[in-house]
Amino acid sequence: MNAVSKAKVAMYWAGSCGGCDISLLEIGPHLLELVAAADVVFWPCAADFKYHHVASYPDGYIDLCLFNGSVRNSEQERMARLLRQKSKTLVAYGACAISGGIPALANLATPEELFARSYTDCPSVDNPGGVLPRTETESLVGELEIPHFYPQVLRLSDIVEVDYLIPGCPPQATRVWEVCQAFLGGALPARAHEQLAGCTDKSVCDECTLEKRLVKISGFRRHHEAIPEPGWCLLEQGFVCLGAATRSGCGALCTKVNMPCRGCYGPSGEARDQGAAFIGALGSLLNAELEARAGELIDQIVDPAGTFYRFTMSDGDLKGHR
């Protein structure tokens, strides 16, 4: 980056809900500082850029590309490859890009099951002909082709080399701005290998102020079933809180308002597989001398795979169906 030409930044939205784009907007007034210091050269959500604009940039033209969303179809893969080619620094922004996020929960089902559910079986669908999406369609203007649907939800790093990971669903604005500042200040080396940014090395418990009483869990409850006792560790109260197995950086936002941590920042410390790490811890926290009792307790947890791997289904050892 030099004084003459401003830095070029990009933000792209692949397989995700859009919350990540909002989280970038959430840096608020800092957005003005960002655009003052850098040119936005691609951000489909905020400005009108087309594919051919990006394709026409020289390789490595973009200094910092924030890529949010998972890769579920051929268009997303194509964009991932294109942006990698055009960017000096490629960031997997948010849980979906890093580890599949919520969309990757679909990995527990096959594409056929997903299509059946979405286009025929769902009670609110009226599709007497059983029409399913097709990749090629004849239309008045000729044959149209829409992107191919992949059998699995993939991470950005399954497709291309990724330099940085900014975790969160979505990443917290204050943390995002810290990373932007580091970038603008030249403190972020252009190339890295999946290095975490915008978070800490510790787990959410580090920032959480609820008190541990060192009692074992005697039963599980969901947060619509009971009101937690204020001030007391939610997990010990039987609310499945993934805080202990989740990287911190969010400021323990959820547990501050008595909501159990859902695990959106991904595995903490040196754990690779967040679900397995949490299960390992949970097993030792149950108030159960006998295996049968432990089994009864675990049976109280609704949708364990979706709960423990809510944001990391593409990442962990449990890669969904195969």
Partner 1 sequence: MNDAASGARIGVFICHCGGNISDVVDVKRVAEEVGKLPGVVLSTTHMFICSDPGQALVESVIKEHALDRVIVAACSPTLHQMTFRRAIERAGLNQFLFEHVNVREQVSWVTEDPVGATAKATRLVSAAVHRARHLVALDKRRIAIQPAALVIGGGVAGLVAARDLAQRGMKVTLVENRPFLGGRMAQLETVFPTGEKARDLLAPLIEEVVSHKLITVMTNAQVVNSEGVVGDFRTRIRVTPRGVNERLAYRGNAIAACPEETVNEFDFGLSKRKAIYMAYPGCWPPMPAIDWHTCTKCGKCVWAVGGKGIELDAEPREVEVRAGVIVLATGYDPYEPLYGEYGYGIFPRVITLQQLIRYLDPEGPTGGQLPLDGASKPRIGFIYCVGARQIEGVNQRQPDGKVKDYCARTCCTGALHAALTIKDHHPDATIYNLYQDVRTYGRGHEAYYERASESGALFLRFDPRHPPRVEKNPRGDSPVVVQVQDLLTDRLDVELPLDLLVLATGVVPHDISELVGMYRCAVGYDSFLLEVHPKLRPVELAVSGVFLAGCCQGPMDITEAAGAASAAASKAAALIAQGQVEMDPFTARVNEALCTGCQTCLGVCPYTAITRDPVKRIANVNQALCTGCGTCAAACPSKAIEQAGFTDAQVLSEVYALLADRSGAVTA
Q: Is 117 in the site for partner 1 (CB under 8 A)?
A: no
> Based on C-alpha coordinates, what's the Rg of the chain?
22
| Residue of 99, 268, 312, 314 interacting with partner 1 (CB under 8 A) | 268
Give min distance, CB of 100 to partner 1, in A: 20
- Secondary-structure breakdown of the chain: helix, strand, coil percentages, each rounded to the nearest 5: 35, 20, 50
DSSP string covering 173-217, please? HHHHHHHHHHHHTT-S-S--SSEE-SS-SSBGGGT--PBP----B
- φ, ψ for residue 120, nearest 5 deg: -130, -50
| Residue of 187, 214, 257, 290 interacting with partner 1 (CB under 8 A) | 214
- # binding residues, partner 1 (CB under 8 A): 24
Which residues contact residue 135 at a Cβ distance below 8 angstroms, ignoring those fewer than 6 apart?
Answer: 145, 146, 147, 148, 149
Q: Is 293 in the site for partner 1 (CB under 8 A)?
A: no
Give min distance, CB of 183 to partner 1, in A: 25
| Residue of 188, 199, 271, 297 interacting with partner 1 (CB under 8 A) | 271
| Residue of 12, 67, 239, 278 interacting with partner 1 (CB under 8 A) | 278
Give min distance, CB of 286 to partner 1, in A: 10
Give min distance, CB of 269 to partner 1, in A: 3
Tokens representing 70? Answer: 């998972």
CA–CA distance, 103 with 314 (Å, rounded to integer): 9
- Stretch (H or E) spanning 138: strand 136-139
| Residue of 73, 248, 255, 314 interacting with partner 1 (CB under 8 A) | 248
Binding mask 36-65 for partner 1 (x = CB under 8 A): ------------------------------
Tokens representing 182? Answer: 């580091």
DSSP string covering 5-40, please? SPEEEEEEE-BS-SHHHHHHHTTTTHHHHHHHHEEE
Q: Which stretch binds partner 1 (CB under 8 A): 1-9, 75-83, 93-101, 239-247?
A: 239-247
Give min distance, CB of 40 to partner 1, in A: 36
| Residue of 148, 191, 216, 256 interacting with partner 1 (CB under 8 A) | 216
Q: Is 280 in the site for partner 1 (CB under 8 A)?
A: yes
Give min distance, CB of 114 to partner 1, in A: 30
Q: Is 219 in the site for partner 1 (CB under 8 A)?
A: no
Minimal CA–CA distance to 106: which of 36, 18, 15?
Answer: 15
CA–CA distance, 79 with 67 (Å, rounded to integer): 10
CA–CA distance, 83 with 292 (Å, rounded to integer): 52
Give min distance, CB of 25 to partner 1, in A: 31
- Stretch (H or E) spanning 259: none
Q: Is 294 in the site for partner 1 (CB under 8 A)?
A: no
| Residue of 60, 283, 295, 306 interacting with partner 1 (CB under 8 A) | 283
Q: Is 209 in the site for partner 1 (CB under 8 A)?
A: no
